[in-house]
Structure 1
């Protein structure tokens, strides 16, 4: 079977990849589902149409454990592409996005607050201090995400190797 894999940059917190295969998409999906339901599979998984989600086993899972999500896309009758995405568990991703949203909203709110204080000729120390602190908090969040990605890197490789094992079965 011909396999060609491409990956995006390591700078992303949620790395993506695609694998081109010379196999019918429906047959590939059936083969993957069969393997995931077998006793040989120790990973938790769920399938929704042509989307497959694979998680680390509960005993090995931690806060930063990644989840592999991939979609099988038919290119033509005899070839398909697996488009994969590694990311944190949905709960962790939602928490991070919520905190980013709060920081962005506070930044906009304090920008307006600083403008109003400036127009009224009042002291700007507090709003300016917050406007300096919020981007620093955003950078801290980015580095926490990077640390989390690095912490889960071995498990990402493990999930990727597992996918390659399924493909080659």
Structure 2
């Protein structure tokens, strides 16, 4: 089995939902993951399974808005299983985050149309430039906000990674 990646390496990635892969020699990993697990570590981690997908998340009592969720997808090969793992926020938060990005993108495109219209009509573009700058600053703010929350979630991410390593060993 490959060595698991550490959280610091994942946090250095630019993508907002860090990903990694793990190869497991056990082709019957489905059976092992179906057994209820006990221990201190698994009292703090909630596990949900659906076919080839497993979600590890922090229990509701300890969960905050930035708490991570580890999604594991099992890909069955001939002699090994490849586990595709993705850290991400709660799906509701992620949906809202993507909606805000979509709204900002749509607004930016509308401002581009307004800018083109003002240029062809020889009107002033000051307000358009100000609004476009505000949207660009909003995107930068959202990115910084997401990165800071990922740093805050690092201890919980480590907890999920420990639970994941115990699950597959």
> What is the TM-score when the length of structure 1 is the normalising length?
0.89
1:18 corresponds in structure 2 to 21
> Which structure's relative contact order is higher, taking Cα pairs within 8 Å and 6+ residues apart?
2
2:51 corresponds in structure 1 to 49
Cα contact 1:5–1:17 (8 A) shared by 2: no
Among candidates 56, 69, 75, match of residue 77 of structure 2: 75
Distance 1:75 1:6, change over 3 A: farther
5+ long unaligned stretches in structure 2:
none
Structure 2: how far apart are the matches of 1:4 and 1:39?
A: 24
5+ long unaligned stretches in structure 1:
none
Structure 2: how far apart are the matches of 1:160 and 1:109?
A: 43
- Size of the aligned set, in residue pairs, is 161
Distance 1:109 1:131, change over 3 A: same
2:148 corresponds in structure 1 to 147
Equivalent positions of 1:19-168 (< 5 A) are 19-24=22-27, 27-34=28-35, 37-40=36-39, 41-42=42-43, 43-76=45-78, 78-168=79-169
Cα contact 2:75–2:81 (8 A) shared by 1: yes
Q: Give SS of 1:85's match.
A: strand
Structure 2: how far apart are the matches of 1:28 and 1:122?
A: 66
Q: Which has the higher strand share?
A: 1
State the Cα RMSD in Å.
Answer: 1.6
